[in-house]
Structure 1
Amino acid sequence: MEIIPSATTKRQSQENWKKHGLIFICVTYIIFAAVFLSFLQLRSPKVIPTADRSAEFSAERAFTHLEKFAVAPHPLGSKEHDKVRDYLMESLQELGLNPEIQKADSFYQSSSRISGGAVENITAKIKGKNSTKAIMLVAHYDSVPGSPGAADDGAGVSAILETVRALKETKPLQNDVIILLTDGEENGMLGAKAFVNEHPWAKDIGLVLNFEARGNEGPSLMFETSDNNSWIVKEFIEAAPTPVIHSFIYSLYKLMPNDTDLTVFKEAGLNGLNFAFGEGLSHYHTTSDNLQELSKESLQHHGEYMLSLVRHFGQLDLAQTKEGNEVFFNIFGSTVISYPEDLVTPIMIMIVILFILTIAHGYKREKLSLPGTLGGFLITIFGMIGSFAIGFGLWSLLTSISPEKRWILETDTVFGTVYLLSFSLIIFAFSAFLYKLAAKKIMTGSLAAGSLLTWLVFVIAASLHLKAGSYIFAWPLFFGLIGINIFIYMKEAVSYKYIILACFALPGFLIASPVIYLIQKLMSMEIAGILAVLVFLLGILLTPIFSTLKIKADWFIPSILLCAGLAILVTNSVNANKVPTAEHRAVSDIIYLQDADKNEAYWIARYGLDDYTSNYINKDIKEGNISSIFPPFSWEGHYGQAELYGLKAPDVTVFSDMAVLSKIDGNKRELIYELKTNRSAEEILMKSLLPITVSELFINHKKVELNNQYAKPQPLLLTYIPGETGRVNIKITVDYKDKVEWIVADRSYNIPEIKEERSEKYSSYGDSSFVMKTIRD
């Protein structure tokens, strides 16, 4: 027998739908308002016009310097580099300083590589009235070979020049201010190493302020500090007008394959702060890091930090003892919350106790059960795995459909942000669907407690192992637990409890939303799976809303979220299909390789074939690892035969090959080479093709401290920027029985023939040519 609902039942059902629909709209507005407020912290300050406030920093004035020196690539060893050096020296002299050039050979080591070069640091000093220790402003003036370096690091250099001008407008500070424009940063922080190892001023430094860029726009983040930072961070918060700081960012930065000059200064025991803007990753180290693309607001933010901090710390005792570390983060724009790391463990204990009390409260009111809570926890773990699969799967699908556009999709600011939004809505839809389904078997209170138990695991793990990032999990959970307790306490029929719950989820969205955004900006959508998990964790703060709100049908809310997310994703993908354009450029490089032994040459395209590289590689095309034709590097790419342009290979002179007796290690073999470029190439490289054990190495008669034996699969690769001499002397001591076989090559930051101008829809890391030869026993 069919039961027909009464008119009263239908009317009540419709009223509930309307009520729940209104609640859903209110909750949506609350969440979007929280996300909007959280992003206010990511605004850069407005640019101060040149004519206004002469004693203040003006990005317009700083930009006039950039127009003079950030107009072409100026890597270490290039002629353009020397022009930039001379301009900076003249500019500092015009500002009333007495700059000097520190010349030195400097070296950097990684597990398989030694890089070095003849660097020329620019140093100057503004004397203080009664200095305790000096403040040192640092930026590097070299660029990578393919980029004009307007942001990296022209913005930092020009900001220093403008800061010096502003400082000259006011009375002298108590402390000295040292200006250090380092050289060779892009080759392994060579200038910074030379300064701390050889310059007499290194012992006088009390605080280092280093300025960098990993993009061309966005707020300047204070992303790294030295250890025992509590005093410095507190003073920074007091001094900076518009601080953007999150202590978790340094933990994230350590996972990235990047170092800056501050790494060297910290290793030398100096205190410091590191600043960089990081949006516009697609412009980083490319030809589009130019004047036209640089954000003046980002430059203004650099300079605002610089001038305000120099004036503040310039009056303080920098010799005082500084102990302990600080947890810090933005909330509501420029408002910063900070507290000592010593409070992280007590906060964790407080939250554990609050969680236990919440379980007891829910159990007493029969709103949850322990088995149900465990079930809710397992469902949340399943949701995290599912979210990762969705994020990873969607991104893999998008990049497999258009593999030639992968670089743009990962690094372009606009596409990445829109994809993050679409993925977030899809993950929220998945979360709503999952908890709607689970609510048929498990009480809402149990689901909520189980999901927050997952947060508690993250709080404990972060508090024990990642104190600087513990706030990301601790405070959202703290307020979320309060909200759940109120939800449990209130009667089922009270509708506004959903609004209260959403309000207590606000701290989570205020704290975590910019964190997720910054992770995406700094790491790109390549980690879409991890970003999806973080979005899911944020969404489960709304578990009771997802699981119990009902509009017409259980799947109405998930369907709305899913349709919105898919619509944004498809629209963004359609727009991405139109790239590359002048606004959204693809990367396109071409490399010329000439093998002097085989009398062969190749064109190599590292980033695929396109309208530009196809002018060079258009027949008998091969794809794969190029180590078979160019052993020094294991790049993937397309390559094909090229015409011979008759470029001269570097000369290798063997001055000595003799047995030597070591009192410690026994018989050794000492080899002395001189390598010389015959075509004014900027870089010389030498790679061992056989396993060798290097016990001693001198480059230009300067000993290099070794930390690796350099055996396969990571044989020794040495690169050196010789400067005007065009030559480098190498003395290397290996085991007596070691056989030696070397690839010697030089690299020029240009190609022998340009067959067509590169379109504006392409940027480049820089075209290069290599000529190589082999030397053996």
Structure 2
Amino acid sequence: MLITPSLPRTQVTAGIAATLLACTALAWAVLRPAALTAPSATPTAAGFSTMRALADVRFLAAMPRPIASAANAEARQYIVAQLRAMGLEPQVQTATAQKTWIDRYRNARVALGVVNNIVVQVPGTAPDHARRPALLLATSYDTAERSVGAAASAAPVAAMLETLRVLQAGAPRANDLLVLFADGENVGGLGARAFAGQHRLAKRAGVVIRFDGRGSAGAPVLIGSSGDNRAAIGGWAKAAPNPRGSSLMQAVYQFMPGTPDMGALDTLGSARLHFANLESSNGHALGSRDTPARLDPASVRAMGETMTALARHFGDAPPAAAIAGAAVYFNLPGFGVVHYPAQAGWILTRLTCLMFIIVCSIAVYRNDTGLGDIVNGALGFVFISVIGALAVFLIWSTFPSLHAGHDFRTHGAGAGDHWFLAGFAALGTAMFIVFQRGLRRAVGHAAAALGPLLLVAILLPLASWKLPGASYALAWPLAGTLLAYGALYSPFARRLRGYQRALILLAGAVPALLLVAPLVPQIFTVTSPDNMNLPMAALALLLGLTALLMTAQRRFVVRGLLAACAACIAVAATIAPYGSAPIPQPNRMAYLKDAYNWKSYWMLPAGPLDAWSKQFFPNAARPQVQVDAFGHNSPKMWLARAPHHALPYPDIRMLKDEVLPKGRTVEFTLQAKSEVPGIDVTLKGAGTLRTSINGRPLTLEKTNDLTVSLYGMGGQLLHFRFDLNSDELSRVFIHERIPGLPPNAAGARPAGMLPPTTPMTETTILSDTLLFR
């Protein structure tokens, strides 16, 4: 018998309590994040100066640095000056790059811009260094339009600069080092595209390592790897001071909005590694909280130390070391990073599935259960998992007062998020124990225990096939649990006391506690309480693998978990998610000068008006749609007539409007102004068959609405050609966007007025509309 005699109530109360305490202590050791020590004013042993890096951050993050803006050019000049002061010879690659997206509704968006990448080459000392693959370190220096990007780009740039200072002061490396500070990464990864596709040094890259920032705290995490990365993973595990990351979480990051990616750099070299710090997220909609004041200096130091260590390791690595196949990798507490060939995962998968078949066969042979009951146990486990996730969703959505002001998408992680995680995990565990007990009574002890393992055994081959990097989180925990269950069926187990059997189960649960338990907070870091489905799925996996231990608990354990849930959520509800200080906000005031109706407007997105913005809309009763410049389906906004300023309208010349039997051809030119960093050209109405600009194809397939965003095209005469699929009524909206408001257009926002605003986030829009009837 597998279950009935293994944990008799009369003998093992103390054993169960000890098991719970051991599980709790082990889980705590796994779940708590590694603390970063505060940096000192003196350089580290590696020579990295955090204070100097923070000075770079403060300069770069003084204001937003979007592509083609004046602030972007100033940041570029600063970086080049710092590199030259180190004795390096940076090059600025000026190139045009393009990215096209077509969504599921066949709407197309094109980003086309002139980027200015900064490229540095540091020759190696090996006699054959020019023939060896080079190490490429990459980051970006531009920002979104409304964020100063302290953590997103200023910190990685500062860490990279300080890393180069350290490397220049030390012994030279054997291999060539290439460093890329990419431009235009926030508008479709244009800088990486230009470097990968057009720069002569791109093809020399061997190992490619990219650094980005997604949060204001924490050590850099390996969020992505590709290519023949087994040796690269081994080098990272050996050289990095605090290696963190797993091949399963890499798959999770790829599907999370706002997570940076390698972009076109993923096509270079033989192996690619991508790092980013993730803690204290600033959101991915605005990034207005991403300020130097929120940036953890220890995070900058950790990123710099990782850069330095990897540059030294791969800078001296022999060329052949970069080619060794793909790897599965994960952190094992107390042992560091474990990695092995991805092909070995299939061997482990086959052995684990064979173990499951053997254990199930023994259970059926001894009449402990039947195959039908095991299937019902698996279905019951799925039902219990869904109920737990649904309960968490209902609590979050039904009681918004518990998380007033929380907005992960806009502002990022809240101060009380970890309390929500603890509360929801306690609730999910309590519900699992209660419902699993009911399932045990319905299908039997063995089926209730083996049912969750059946589901894991089904998922394991699928994971090994589609997501081989995730297979470790299923294979090793399942193997440990099956070994424990198999041990309880062995002849010697009949002579064991209850607490001894409990210890066997605990030993079998150790792989799940070490490998699955950390996934709950790691996934939660990038999903937040807004989206608990994946964290709850990871928790359900952990509970399913430890079902015997969980369902053996007394009722007071469930009551304790429910009390802990209530206490944690109550504490979270009392914490202001973003502190008491007002959150910095972009100033979204816009001045629109529209040639279509020869009028000028003040515009502001719908929302409450403060004392400063009310002066622009003294007679506006409610927000409305600006149809002439943006179309009928545009968002509502506050609108008021504004004075005319001596700003030229878009310089458009109509060249061709020809109606054809199966469509229409439209051609026009737009003279781009040197002071205009960004231009949006939007077509609504008829769909397109092909579109081009100056003979360069934009789209080559049938699309519906089309938006073309142009960056840094100042001084160019842009020749557009749209081949439309019908002659229905269509409009082309042209918007030239300039940061800031016209000089002397309005009184400056009073200093110290709350909430504080991000500088240079106002916008001047020069607009015109082409109407085709």
For the superposition of Structure 1 and Structure 2, which TM-score range results when normalised by the shorter chain? 0.7 to 0.9
Aligned counterparts, 1:16-95, within 5 A: 22-39=14-31, 42-44=34-36, 47=39, 49-53=41-45, 55-95=46-86
**Alignment match, 2:158:** 158
Q: Residue deviations 1:325-367, cap 9 Å, x none?
A: 1100001157011111111222111111111221233345554
In structure 1, C-alpha distance between the alignment counterparts of 2:172 and 2:325, rounded to whole Å: 31
**Alignment match, 2:592:** 594
In structure 2, C-alpha distance between the alignment counterparts of 1:613 and 1:220, rounded to whole Å: 41
How far apart are 1:17 and its partner, in Å?
7.9
How far apart are 1:655 and its partner, in Å?
5.9
User: Percent of aligned positions with the same letter in both sequences?
Assistant: 21
> Which of 504, 514, 518 is the equivalent residue of 1:514?
518
In structure 1, C-alpha distance between the alignment counterparts of 2:593 and 2:476, rounded to whole Å: 61
Higher mean C-alpha displacement, 424-433 vs 171-180: 171-180
Q: What SS does structure 2 have at the residue aligned with 1:412?
A: coil
**Alignment match, 2:484:** 483
**Alignment match, 2:718:** 729
Higher mean C-alpha displacement, 103-112 vs 91-100: 103-112
Q: What SS does structure 1 have at the residue aligned with 2:245?
A: coil
- Cα 1:437–1:669 change in 2 (3 A) is closer
In structure 1, C-alpha distance between the alignment counterparts of 2:208 and 2:601, rounded to whole Å: 47
How far apart are 1:639 and its partner, in Å?
2.8
**Alignment match, 1:549:** 553
In structure 1, C-alpha distance between the alignment counterparts of 2:657 and 2:632, rounded to whole Å: 30
**Residue 702 (structure 2) pairs with residue 709 (structure 1):** yes
Q: Residue deviations 1:447-501, cap 9 Å, x none?
A: 1111221222222221222111111111111111122233455459613422432
Higher mean C-alpha displacement, 474-483 vs 368-377: 368-377
In structure 2, C-alpha distance between the alignment counterparts of 1:361 and 1:414, rounded to whole Å: 50
Q: Is the 8 A contact 2:329 2:337 kept in 1?
A: yes
How far apart are 1:179 and its partner, in Å?
1.8
- Cα 1:631–1:318 change in 2 (3 A) is farther
**Residue 530 (structure 2) pairs with residue 535 (structure 1):** no
Q: Is the 8 A contact 1:722 1:728 kept in 2?
A: no
Structure 2 gaps of 5+ residues are 1-7, 103-107
Q: What SS does structure 2 have at the residue aligned with 1:72?
A: coil
**Alignment match, 1:646:** 644
**Amino acid in structure 1 at the alignment position of 2:110:** I
**Alignment match, 2:573:** 573
**Alignment match, 1:697:** 692
**Alignment match, 1:455:** 456
**Alignment match, 1:497:** 501
- Cα 1:646–1:546 change in 2 (3 A) is same
How far apart are 1:744 and its partner, in Å?
0.8
**Alignment match, 1:426:** 427
How far apart are 1:97 and its partner, in Å?
0.6
Q: What SS does structure 2 have at the residue aligned with 1:294?
A: coil
Structure 1 gaps of 5+ residues are 1-15
Q: Is the 8 A contact 2:92 2:118 kept in 1?
A: yes
**Alignment match, 2:740:** 750
Q: Residue deviations 1:586-613, cap 9 Å, x none?
A: 867634363623436464436x547689
- Cα 1:404–1:43 change in 2 (3 A) is closer
Q: Residue deviations 1:725-764, cap 9 Å, x none?
A: 3665133242596565211112233356455668666777
How far apart are 1:582 and its partner, in Å?
4.3
Q: Is the 8 A contact 1:423 1:565 kept in 2?
A: yes
- Cα 1:527–1:621 change in 2 (3 A) is farther
In structure 2, C-alpha distance between the alignment counterparts of 1:308 and 1:702, rounded to whole Å: 47
In structure 2, C-alpha distance between the alignment counterparts of 1:507 and 1:477, rounded to whole Å: 8
How far apart are 1:206 and its partner, in Å?
1.5
> Which of 111, 117, 121 is the equivalent residue of 2:113?
117
**Alignment match, 2:665:** 669
- Cα 1:66–1:600 change in 2 (3 A) is closer
Higher mean C-alpha displacement, 41-50 vs 153-162: 41-50
In structure 2, C-alpha distance between the alignment counterparts of 1:19 and 1:411, rounded to whole Å: 49
**Alignment match, 2:274:** 274
Q: What SS does structure 1 have at the residue aligned with 2:319?
A: coil
In structure 1, C-alpha distance between the alignment counterparts of 2:73 and 2:583, rounded to whole Å: 30
**Alignment match, 1:202:** 202
In structure 1, C-alpha distance between the alignment counterparts of 2:302 and 2:269, rounded to whole Å: 27
**Amino acid in structure 1 at the alignment position of 2:79:** L
Aligned counterparts, 1:357-372, within 5 A: 357-372=358-373
Q: What SS does structure 2 have at the residue aligned with 1:669?
A: strand
- Cα 1:736–1:413 change in 2 (3 A) is closer
Q: Is the 8 A contact 1:412 1:584 kept in 2?
A: no
In structure 2, C-alpha distance between the alignment counterparts of 1:145 and 1:692, rounded to whole Å: 29
In structure 1, C-alpha distance between the alignment counterparts of 2:610 and 2:629, rounded to whole Å: 25
- Cα 1:494–1:736 change in 2 (3 A) is closer
Q: What SS does structure 2 have at the residue aligned with 1:744?
A: strand
How far apart are 1:775 and its partner, in Å?
1.3
In structure 1, C-alpha distance between the alignment counterparts of 2:633 and 2:578, rounded to whole Å: 27
Q: Is the 8 A contact 1:424 1:535 kept in 2?
A: yes
In structure 2, C-alpha distance between the alignment counterparts of 1:634 and 1:333, rounded to whole Å: 57
**Alignment match, 1:741:** 731
- Cα 1:331–1:580 change in 2 (3 A) is closer
**Alignment match, 1:102:** 93
Higher mean C-alpha displacement, 555-564 vs 540-549: 540-549
**Amino acid in structure 2 at the alignment position of 1:101:** V
How far apart are 1:291 and its partner, in Å?
1.6
Higher mean C-alpha displacement, 318-327 vs 469-478: 318-327
Higher mean C-alpha displacement, 585-594 vs 739-748: 585-594
Q: Is the 8 A contact 2:53 2:159 kept in 1?
A: yes
How far apart are 1:385 and its partner, in Å?
1.8
In structure 1, C-alpha distance between the alignment counterparts of 2:38 and 2:334, rounded to whole Å: 15
Q: What SS does structure 1 have at the residue aligned with 2:531?
A: helix
Aligned counterparts, 1:148-187, within 5 A: 148-187=148-187
In structure 1, C-alpha distance between the alignment counterparts of 2:168 and 2:459, rounded to whole Å: 50
Q: Residue deviations 1:141-160, cap 9 Å, x none?
A: 11122222211111111111
How far apart are 1:565 and its partner, in Å?
0.6
- Cα 1:538–1:656 change in 2 (3 A) is same
> What is the Cα-based RMSD across aligned positions, in Å?
3.5
**Amino acid in structure 1 at the alignment position of 2:83:** L
How far apart are 1:220 and its partner, in Å?
0.7
**Amino acid in structure 2 at the alignment position of 1:683:** G
Q: Residue deviations 1:210-243, cap 9 Å, x none?
A: 1101111122111112222222222222222221
In structure 1, C-alpha distance between the alignment counterparts of 2:197 and 2:56, rounded to whole Å: 30
In structure 2, C-alpha distance between the alignment counterparts of 1:617 and 1:404, rounded to whole Å: 27
In structure 2, C-alpha distance between the alignment counterparts of 1:409 and 1:78, rounded to whole Å: 24
**Alignment match, 1:4:** none
Aligned counterparts, 1:131-150, within 5 A: 131=129, 132-150=132-150
In structure 2, C-alpha distance between the alignment counterparts of 1:125 and 1:442, rounded to whole Å: 67
Q: Is the 8 A contact 1:632 1:687 kept in 2?
A: no
In structure 2, C-alpha distance between the alignment counterparts of 1:610 and 1:521, rounded to whole Å: 33
In structure 2, C-alpha distance between the alignment counterparts of 1:508 and 1:94, rounded to whole Å: 52
In structure 1, C-alpha distance between the alignment counterparts of 2:270 and 2:666, rounded to whole Å: 38
**Alignment match, 1:562:** 562
**Amino acid in structure 2 at the alignment position of 1:542:** T
Higher mean C-alpha displacement, 521-530 vs 308-317: 521-530
**Alignment match, 1:374:** 375
Higher mean C-alpha displacement, 732-741 vs 467-476: 732-741
In structure 1, C-alpha distance between the alignment counterparts of 2:283 and 2:460, rounded to whole Å: 36
How far apart are 1:689 and its partner, in Å?
1.5
Aligned counterparts, 1:176-255, within 5 A: 176-255=176-255
**Amino acid in structure 1 at the alignment position of 2:178:** I
In structure 2, C-alpha distance between the alignment counterparts of 1:635 and 1:467, rounded to whole Å: 44
Q: Is the 8 A contact 1:516 1:531 kept in 2?
A: yes
